[in-house]
Structure 1
Amino acid sequence: MTNESAYDVGAVRAQFPALKAGSAHFDGPGGTQTPLPVIDAIADALSRPLSNRGHGTAGERNAETIVADARRALADLLGAEPSGIVFGRSATQLTYDFSRTLAKAWAPGDEVVVTRLDHDSNVRPWIQAAENAGAVVRWADFDPETGELEVDAVRSVLSERTRLVAVTAASNLIGTRPAIPEISRAVHDAGALLYVDGVHYTAHAHVDVERLGADFFTCSPYKFLGPHMGVLASRPDLLETLRPDKLLPSTNAVPERFEFGTLPYEFLAGARAAVDFLAALAPDGGGTRRERLAASSAALERHEDALRLRIEEGLAAFGQITVHSRAAERTPTLLLTIDGRSTVDAYRYLAERGVDAPSGSFYALEASRRLGLGDDGGLRVGLAPYNNAEDVDRLLHHLAGFLASPE
């Protein structure tokens, strides 16, 4: 268990109404529970006058303020500029939008690199865009024994025709965190752009898009205590070079030219509140929001890593369980399979006992297949800021019960 003076998990849990239902949630990688400040921010946005953005009426001004505040908050979270923050319905939608826009500059014979470690939302849009442009798709593989995606695996498929490399900063299936800064250098040396799926990574690490070297970086606030939406960060000057298809009357300003239709203002208010909630977890509470986010992320990593070790030590006693999350650098997310038993059955057994740990491939189809698990995947156990030692003990206790139960 972590040092409570540095991270008070009891105080954190008190902010989550959903926890009163009594379940131990290990389903955070699919979407976290929501704290009261986020719920209140969404309700507050909807309770005040609200209209399309403008400066004439109270509703217009409220909408403008919500959007500006959300851009600043997400820029602080990601180490980006507010004018480089693009909002969308989901990270998948944003990736499809940007794949179509970027592919306008591709020609037959150009090359695009995707990896077998990624969520399909950072694979299929690029494959389909490449097919439409006549470009060639090249695959970077990971080692299923170690879970590692090495820089050399990416470097080996780069060429002078490479236009873009799409790679995850953290696998949502097995937690692997590739060395993105090193991959970025190799990609940029080849003259290509780097599109990073940061959806799982952002929930478990302090993000610095400049240090990572990502030309485009996506995340989803609902994976870090916020509402269901997507966010993309890029350099404003790079965004200025792109011309998405859009409605004629809609603005051509960056980043708004990439945001189609009216933004979900209440969700933007919730996303800003989620960032502020995370910043408030900083042990000393001082400094800028960006500095507090760095401190809170460090405290969260210590807390979650301690719980992950507790789970791994407990799992080691179960001879029937194989843990596929093995990379040296990884998030607190474990993929398990059980010799002779269905992980779907395990998921149902645990759910009936108030332990939420789902089974599947979670859209990481290529990774699941590469691990030899087909499209079925395994049981995924993921940690979030509100998990505690009691949750872990319940998980291990009921896993033991499942293993002892008749098939």
Structure 2
Amino acid sequence: MPYDVKVLRSHFPALTQGAAHFDGPGGSQVPDAVGEAMSATITAAIANRGRVTAAERFADEVVLGARAAMADLLGADPGGIVFGRSMTSLTFDFARTLAKTWAPGDEVVVTRLDHDANIRPWVLAAKAVGAVIRWAEFDPGTGELPVENVERLLTARTRLVAVTAASNLIGTEPDIAAIAAVVHGAGALFFVDGVHFTAHAPVDVADMGADFYVCSPYKFLGPHCGVLASSPELLERLQPDKLLPSSEQVPERYELGTLPYEMLAGTTAAVDFLAGLGTLVDPDYLKPADRRAALLSSMGKAQAYEDALRADLEKELAALPGVTLRSRATHRTPTLLMTFDGRDAANAQRFLADRGVNAPSGSFYALEASRWMGLGDAGGLRVGLAPYSDRDDCDRLVSGLREFLAAG
């Protein structure tokens, strides 16, 4: 069945308000099924997880259901799915936990391409124990992060390498599997930020070679929370800080406090919705017989649709006078960063917003990347496509930018 964006868009109440949304990299719009699942959960009889009362069992089922859903989305083991408030908080927690295994003089590799949430937690954790941070640089002209730029930094003292699966600023998708091979060859652990990547492509954590993979459901049509995937065996080897009476079980030992059940129910609904992309005319789209297979198929369709839309949009934007596109890597998400000759990207954002086109400006916490590209802290105007983006959205963006540039 072909990808039907018109049917897809009918499931997003926010789109009826009329704005063209290019702000998905910062947080996507949410389909009706997600809101309904969250509302039903938070208003149901519910309690702390247990198996005695119906309310306890319901809470337990919500958590286990969300673990199974995220495992299907990521190709991971549900016993290694950890939930947290955000990707940032999970990464800080794991940085502190892993740092307990480091010694002064040990080394941690981070990249200039990454969002600061996959840089600063490692920098601070390394500093606290006397470990050394080593920086992998990307090509500021092409946006590429070659495997060699990571490999040359690896030594017998390397304990962990942190790399993004896709840049939230310019969309670059490094060769994660190849980087994983050299990282593991050096005997180090590999921590992958999949926040931006997960929204745009099928994911298989095992094929990637990630020891830890983090993502955020609110970037792929879900609610605001964070998810980490790892192997239960690896999680068993680590001991995070936790309350004395809280569970020693994995993955529960990594989850601080009572989980937000309504968020987890919304996460499951988002994954189920993603499994039905391209087949939403089917009333049973929320119940695929094989969710993992359905996800691989539907995310592949969404990726092809977004890439085709991005290719057409990119040609039109490149033809606008005074516009410089900064997203140039061969493999990348449908994410475009642009700057304007003699014009402030923040002014372009405001101009477009007045016309109902939401395209934000800034460095989007990818501060190292923006500075490395010579864009300082200001960054540029970011245009991110989502599964619900359509040709009319793109026409409105191009028309608005043409007006902005003509206004002088």
Please indicate, yes or no, whether the TM-score normalized by the shorter chain is above 0.5.
Answer: yes
Does residue 374 (structure 1) correspond to residue 376 (structure 2)? The answer is yes
Distance 2:319 2:66 in 1: 46
Query: Residue 293 of structure 1 corresponds to which residue in structure 2?
Result: 295
Does residue 333 (structure 1) correspond to residue 335 (structure 2)? The answer is yes
Does residue 81 (structure 1) correspond to residue 81 (structure 2)? The answer is no
Does residue 173 (structure 1) correspond to residue 169 (structure 2)? The answer is yes
Does residue 236 (structure 1) correspond to residue 238 (structure 2)? The answer is no
User: Contact (CA 8 Å) 2:46, 2:55: kept in 1 or not?
Assistant: yes
Query: Residue 396 of structure 2 corresponds to which residue in structure 1?
Result: 394
Distance 2:10 2:232 in 1: 39
Letter in 2 for 1:382: G
Does residue 211 (structure 1) correspond to residue 207 (structure 2)? The answer is yes
User: Contact (CA 8 Å) 1:282, 1:295: kept in 2 or not?
Assistant: no
Distance 2:309 2:230 in 1: 34
Distance 2:289 2:320 in 1: 45
Distance 1:280 1:315 in 2: 31
Letter in 1 for 2:275: A
User: Contact (CA 8 Å) 1:282, 1:292: kept in 2 or not?
Assistant: no
User: Contact (CA 8 Å) 2:160, 2:188: kept in 1 or not?
Assistant: yes
Does residue 35 (structure 1) correspond to residue 37 (structure 2)? The answer is no
Q: Secondary structure at the match of 2:171?
A: coil
Of 114, 124, 135, the residue aligned with 1:139 is: 135
Q: How far has the Cα of 1:14 moved from its partner?
A: 0.4
Q: How far has the Cα of 1:376 moved from its partner?
A: 0.6
Of 14, 17, 21, the residue aligned with 2:17 is: 21
Distance 2:272 2:336 in 1: 28
Q: Secondary structure at the match of 1:112?
A: strand
Distance 1:181 1:317 in 2: 35
* TM-superposition CA deviations, 1:181-227 (whole Å, max 9, x none): 00000000000000000000000111100000000000000000000
User: Contact (CA 8 Å) 1:195, 1:216: kept in 2 or not?
Assistant: yes
Q: Secondary structure at the match of 2:139?
A: coil
Distance 2:292 2:325 in 1: 35
Query: Residue 220 of structure 2 corresponds to which residue in structure 1?
Result: 224
Q: How far has the Cα of 1:384 moved from its partner?
A: 0.5
Distance 1:91 1:47 in 2: 27
Letter in 2 for 1:259: E
Of 335, 351, 354, the residue aligned with 1:352 is: 354
Distance 2:177 2:99 in 1: 24
Q: Secondary structure at the match of 2:197?
A: helix
Distance 1:229 1:241 in 2: 25
Q: How far has the Cα of 1:276 moved from its partner?
A: 0.1
Distance 1:106 1:42 in 2: 40
Of 276, 279, 301, the residue aligned with 2:272 is: 276
Cα-Cα RMSD? 1.0
Distance 1:28 1:73 in 2: 22
Q: How far has the Cα of 1:401 moved from its partner?
A: 0.4
Q: How far has the Cα of 1:281 moved from its partner?
A: 1.4
Q: Secondary structure at the match of 1:308?
A: helix
Letter in 2 for 1:146: T
User: Contact (CA 8 Å) 1:310, 1:392: kept in 2 or not?
Assistant: no
User: Contact (CA 8 Å) 2:86, 2:216: kept in 1 or not?
Assistant: yes
Q: How far has the Cα of 1:316 moved from its partner?
A: 2.1
Letter in 1 for 2:297: A
User: Contact (CA 8 Å) 2:4, 2:278: kept in 1 or not?
Assistant: no
Distance 2:136 2:170 in 1: 17
Letter in 2 for 1:337: T
User: Contact (CA 8 Å) 2:318, 2:325: kept in 1 or not?
Assistant: no
Q: Secondary structure at the match of 1:228?
A: coil
Query: Residue 157 of structure 1 corresponds to which residue in structure 2?
Result: 153
Q: How far has the Cα of 1:282 moved from its partner?
A: 4.7
Letter in 2 for 1:291: A
Query: Residue 257 of structure 1 corresponds to which residue in structure 2?
Result: 253
* TM-superposition CA deviations, 1:314-363 (whole Å, max 9, x none): 11211211111000000000000001100000000000000000000000
User: Contact (CA 8 Å) 1:37, 1:274: kept in 2 or not?
Assistant: yes
Which stretches of structure 1, 4 residues or more, deviate above 6 A after TM superposition? none
- Decide which moves more: 332-341 or 48-57: 48-57
Query: Residue 316 of structure 1 corresponds to which residue in structure 2?
Result: 318
Q: Secondary structure at the match of 2:196?
A: helix
- How many residues in Structure 1 have an aligned counterpart in Structure 2? 402
Distance 1:137 1:396 in 2: 42
* TM-superposition CA deviations, 1:231-282 (whole Å, max 9, x none): 0000000000000010000000000000000000000000000000000115
Distance 1:172 1:101 in 2: 26
Letter in 2 for 1:185: A
Distance 1:280 1:312 in 2: 28
Distance 1:184 1:379 in 2: 32
Of 104, 107, 113, the residue aligned with 1:108 is: 104
Q: Secondary structure at the match of 1:380?
A: strand
User: Contact (CA 8 Å) 1:15, 1:35: kept in 2 or not?
Assistant: yes
Q: How far has the Cα of 1:287 moved from its partner?
A: 5.1
TM normalised by structure 2 equals 0.97
Q: How far has the Cα of 1:85 moved from its partner?
A: 0.1
Does residue 128 (structure 1) correspond to residue 130 (structure 2)? The answer is no
Structure 2 alignment gaps of length 5 or more = none
Letter in 1 for 2:343: R
Distance 2:56 2:116 in 1: 38
User: Contact (CA 8 Å) 1:282, 1:293: kept in 2 or not?
Assistant: no
* TM-superposition CA deviations, 1:77-98 (whole Å, max 9, x none): 0000100000000000000000
State the identity %: 63
* TM-superposition CA deviations, 1:150-194 (whole Å, max 9, x none): 000000111000000000000000000000000000000000000
Distance 2:34 2:317 in 1: 34
